[in-house]
Amino acid sequence: MEADLSKVCRLCLKGGEVMCPIFGASQLNGNSASLPHRIMSCAQVKVYEGDGLPTNVCTTCLSQVDRSYQFKLLCEKSDSTLRGNMHRNSASDTESLDGGDSWDMTKFTPEVIINEEADENVSLCLSI
């Protein structure tokens, strides 16, 4: 006796709960990405219409997919922002080394300070 796959959640395999279709016109639900895309972005699974597997998810899993996908987007946005800032900071560091007010060695005049006391200490160390 086969189970009715329309009553089984594709993600947790539980049945008997309120189910939401994975595919179809209602898949966007205000999100920019389809439910199959969100699922595949968060888990290493393939979700294709007509693949013979359950076509519904329970509301618990749907909520979990939405939270996971939003967290994934947040992480990617944060990473992009941080890497962009690092790139800009790196470029400005390079510009400050190469640009206008940088230190010019050809304009450097060394200052020599002679410490006579140090010379006496060196002599004492050598004679011991």
Structure confidence by residue, pLDDT tens digits, 9-36 = 999 999 988 999 999 855 445 557 899 9
Where residue 73 falls among pLDDT bands split at 50, 70, 90?
very high
Report the alpha-carbon distance of residue 88 to residue 95 in Å, rounded: 10
Q: Is the CB of residue 24 less than 8 Å from the CB of residue 73? A: no
Q: Is the CB of residue 96 less than 8 Å from the CB of residue 102? A: yes
The three-class DSSP label of residue 85 is helix
Mean pLDDT of the chain: 78
CATH of 10-82, one of 3.40.50.1110, 3.40.1800.20, 3.90.550.10, 3.20.20.70: 3.40.1800.20
Q: Is 125 annotated as a binding residue?
A: no
Q: Is 9 annotated as a binding residue?
A: yes
- Give the residue ranges of DSSP H helices in 1-128: 35-42, 59-98, 116-127
The three-class DSSP label of residue 56 is strand
Q: Is 75 annotated as a binding residue?
A: no
The three-class DSSP label of residue 73 is helix
Residues in CB range of 59: below 8 A, 6 or more apart: 17, 18, 19, 20
Q: Is the CB of residue 38 less than 8 Å from the CB of residue 44? A: no
Where residue 123 falls among pLDDT bands split at 50, 70, 90?
very low
